[in-house]
A = this chain, B = another copy of it.
Amino acid sequence: MNALGLVSMRLCAGLMGRRSAVNLPFLRFSSGMTLSQIDDEVAKLLQLKAQLGGDEGKHVFVLKTAKGTRDYNPKQMAIREKVFNIIVSCFKRHGAETIDTPVFELKETLTGKYGEDSKLIYDLKDQGGELLSLRYDLTVPFARYLALNKITNIKRYHIAKVYRRDNPAMTRGRYREFYQCDFDIAGQYDAMIPDAECLKIVYEILNELDLGDFRIKVNDRRILDGMFAVCGVPDEKFRTICSTVDKLDKTAWEDVRKEMVNEKGLSEDVADRIGAYVSMQGGQDLAERLLQDPKLSQNKQACAGLTDMKLLFSYLELFQVTDKVVFDLSLARGLDYYTGVIYEAVLSQTIPAPVCTPTEQNGADEAGVSVGSVAGGGRYDGLVGMFDPKGRKVPCVGVSIGIERIFSIMEQKAEASSVKVRTTETQVLVASAQKNLLEERLKLTSELWNAGIKAEVLYKKNPKLLSQLQHCEETGIPLVAILGEQELKDGVVKLRNVASREEVDVPRADLVDEIKTRTL
């Protein structure tokens, strides 16, 4: 607080009685105010706050990134590029196009899509004009894109950052700004074919990333809803019980049961009936068995879901991915918009207990445990219709790869490995062994650039040869093109292999080809 602020505080202390006296009638009156009058009052107050100088006076600038976010340094970017290449190659192999949408949407575009998670949405300040929010995922912007452009058929991927005001746990790869890699298929197609392709894609990507063993859990919202119905959960509690079931991946059944009974008001009988179902895991056989279940088989929703689950597994068989896919009745997923199949991939590998900073400590799930879900998705046949003025539906199914946790693992692998990660692709450094050759170095470098060679030159008039060679060793540049008086006279360049220290004179006219051959 600055000097003015202190003065006004003292002033205020003496006026306290009067203040409440003035304040009360104001607030009593205010229930009759219009919205624009309120806006005016707010504006006046904020202006006053600005005049008082904010709290700049006592404030010390803190040099950091925003909470829950991080920079990527060149090494991390090299790893990121590798991961993205694997993912994009897979998406392209499956014939996907790509789109991009703005980082913010109209606030109301996001309203009513995320259930209890809506509180995690970042809003932009009202600076006049539209009310905006940062995107929370790529699925809702995709649905908005389809409705806006009246697209009824598309297979697209979208790799971009999304934003959640969640409790960050950065050592486990949980950030407030993070990448999602989404692949979705929109269109009216025959049952379970696109759904099976999404699972095939998750399988391929996790295999290629080489992150160790993994499992893909599959379930269906219709099976969950049918199960809740036959267990005796009242209709209006389906979504909230669904959220409770969703905690089973991190919480023991006893605690989930307690929440159902004590907080959500289910009877113990109902909870136990749910408990019997959600402990079931299997494959096509489980779907068949449940289709014979005396209660479930009477529920239309459950039957539709189970029949599709059987079909899905028959396609997964053809795609040869059933070794990793489990039909798991405890999988629920939090988001409101799913209408059919849902899935989630988890790595079996655990990551070492991280060194927690105080702000990152977050209970038991923080230490030496599974990195949790690295991919998830499902079918959302109703979402596009929520945006279409006439409610026209476009069935969609998709998957989102949660890349940050994968980065965390890859980074730790890179740290542990002795192989040095290169952060540039430079093929050759143009160097000189003598003084006063800056102009010749620049000229040769320019020639190489013009020929498409990745070349560097030190920005010094007279660098020592040793420091030029050191730069190569540090950054992994494999070749040095050395110029000297003699070489210039002879029309050659001394080409040195940094690793072997072997040197050979190359005629200047052949240099480009020689470098290309050596750095294929």
Establish whether residues B319 and A149, one from each chain, have CB atoms under 8 Å apart when the complex forms: no
Does any Cβ of B come within 8 Å of A3's Cβ?
Answer: no
CB proximity of A364 to chain B, nearest CB, Å: 24
Residues of chain B within 8 A (CB-CB) of A273 are none
> From DSSP, what is the main secondary structure of chain A's interface residues?
mixed
Does any Cβ of B come within 8 Å of A356's Cβ?
Answer: no
CB proximity of A467 to chain B, nearest CB, Å: 12
Residues of chain B within 8 A (CB-CB) of A61 are 108
State which residues 91-129 of A face B: CB under 8 Å: 92-106, 108, 122-127, 129
Q: How many residues of A are counted as interface, with CB atoms below 8 angstroms from the partner's CB atoms?
A: 123
- Count the copies: 2
CB proximity of A63 to chain B, nearest CB, Å: 5
The chain B residue with its CB closest to the CB of A46 is B42
CB proximity of A420 to chain B, nearest CB, Å: 14
Residues of chain B within 8 A (CB-CB) of A161 are 103
A460-B187 Cα distance, complex, nearest whole Å: 11
State which residues 406-464 of A face B: CB under 8 Å: 423-426, 438-439, 442-443, 446, 449-450, 452-456, 459-461
Specify which of B39, B98, B101, B124 is in contact with A74 (CB 8 Å cutoff): B98
Establish whether residues B54 and A45, one from each chain, have CB atoms under 8 Å apart when the complex forms: no
The chain B residue with its CB closest to the CB of A160 is B161
**Surface stretch bound by B, among A8-16, A328-336, A490-498, A507-515:** A8-16
A127-B133 Cα distance, complex, nearest whole Å: 12
Establish whether residues A460 and B190, one from each chain, have CB atoms under 8 Å apart when the complex forms: yes
Establish whether residues B33 and A8, one from each chain, have CB atoms under 8 Å apart when the complex forms: yes
State which residues 61-81 of A face B: CB under 8 Å: 61-67, 69-74, 77, 80
Q: List 18 additional contacts besides A30-B48, A42-B45, A318-B446; criterion CB under 8 Å.
A: A8-B31, A8-B34, A12-B32, A19-B29, A23-B26, A62-B106, A66-B130, A69-B102, A73-B99, A73-B149, A74-B156, A77-B100, A93-B453, A95-B456, A103-B177, A123-B125, A200-B446, A314-B439
A-B contact pairs, 26 of them (CB 8 A): A5-B34, A12-B34, A19-B32, A19-B33, A19-B37, A23-B41, A30-B45, A38-B45, A63-B148, A64-B148, A65-B102, A66-B106, A67-B130, A71-B102, A74-B156, A77-B97, A93-B453, A95-B424, A95-B456, A97-B423, A103-B103, A103-B163, A127-B165, A189-B459, A193-B459, A320-B446
